[in-house]
Amino acid sequence: MIRVLIVDDEAPARALLREMLSAEPDVEILGEAATGLEAVKTAAELKPDAVFLDIEMPKLDGFEVLELLDPQVAVVFVTAYDSHALRAFEVHAVDYVLKPYRAERLREALSRARARVGDRPDPALLARTVRPPGQYAHRVVVKDGAHIHVIPLERLDYAQAQDDYVALRTEGKTLLKAQTLAGLEASLDPSLFVRVHRSFLVRLDRIRALEPYGKNDHVAILADGTRVPVSREGYARLRELLE
């Protein structure tokens, strides 16, 4: 059996997909979700093998949901639009099924999902391709236990590398996201966020002062008083941007 979660903000689309998937003898439908936030929470609770996931939804879109799912879950995007297809396969979706659904096409998607269940895509590659080339993120989504935090980038002060995680500092709180600092950096506008140190990425307009620290290094003083180390290479980047 393949255990499936259906995610779509339109009730008729969910009902049709449930009806068609239920006709397959080896499919167990665990549940449904009508929003991206609900999808992430429900998937964490029910642990499906595969998610049939709409893309254009309120709160969180399908790509943001995929970013927060367990990497071993096979994702089949179901959508009325063909414009996201290339991006979908770049983020390792197992298939991309256009509405209106056809039974034969859904069986093909199920077959691909069965073959993919348990595979773990490269998280660094996922981080680089979760957005179209040339476009930058306007927010960061973080799963913190049962809670989903959506951080607009104007509220993100800095990020610090912590092994395979980044610690995101926002409005006096620190949230951990399972992502590398390099992956986060690739998604952000380089005119707004600067890698000042191998372990720190800082929003440029949060820097209030730069002070010498040791022979070749500096420290950045942020608006809230936080002191962030600045390497020689980071100082050169800041000088170029601030002049």
What is the C-alpha separation between 133 and 39, in angstroms, rounded? 26
Tell me the pLDDT of the chain (243 aa) as tens digits.
Answer: 899 999 999 999 999 999 999 999 999 999 999 999 999 999 999 999 999 999 999 889 999 999 899 888 999 999 998 888 877 877 788 999 999 999 999 999 999 999 887 665 554 555 555 555 567 888 999 988 888 999 999 999 999 999 889 999 999 999 999 888 998 998 899 999 999 999 999 999 999 999 998 777 899 999 999 999 999 999 999 988 876
* Cα gap 103→242, rounded to integer Å: 58
Comma-separated ranges of CATH 3.40.50.2300 domains in the chain:
2-129
This prediction has a pTM of 0.76
The pLDDT of residue 87: 76
* 151's tokens: 């951080």
Say if strands 74-79 and 95-98 run parallel, antiparallel, or are unpaired: parallel
Q: What does the angle CA 133 – CA 241 – CA 155 come to, to the nearest 5 degrees? A: 65
**What is the predicted pLDDT for the residue at 107?**
93
CA 234/CA 155 separation, integer angstroms? 22
Q: Do 208 and 174 contact (CB within 8 A), yes or no?
A: no
- Encode burial over 165-195: b for 16+ CB neighbours within 10 A, e otherwise: bbbbbbeeeebebebbbebbbbbbeeeebbb
**Does the structural domain 139-242 have CATH classification 2.40.240.20?**
no
d(CA 34, CA 141): 18
Hey, what CATH topology would domain 2-129 get? Rossmann fold (3.40.50)
Instruction: Render 150-175 in DSSP notation, one character per residue.
Output: EEEGGGEEEEEEETTEEEEEETTEEE
Domain with CATH 2.40.50.1020 in the chain: 139-242
Asked if 146 and 44 touch (Cβ cutoff 8 Å), the reply is: yes
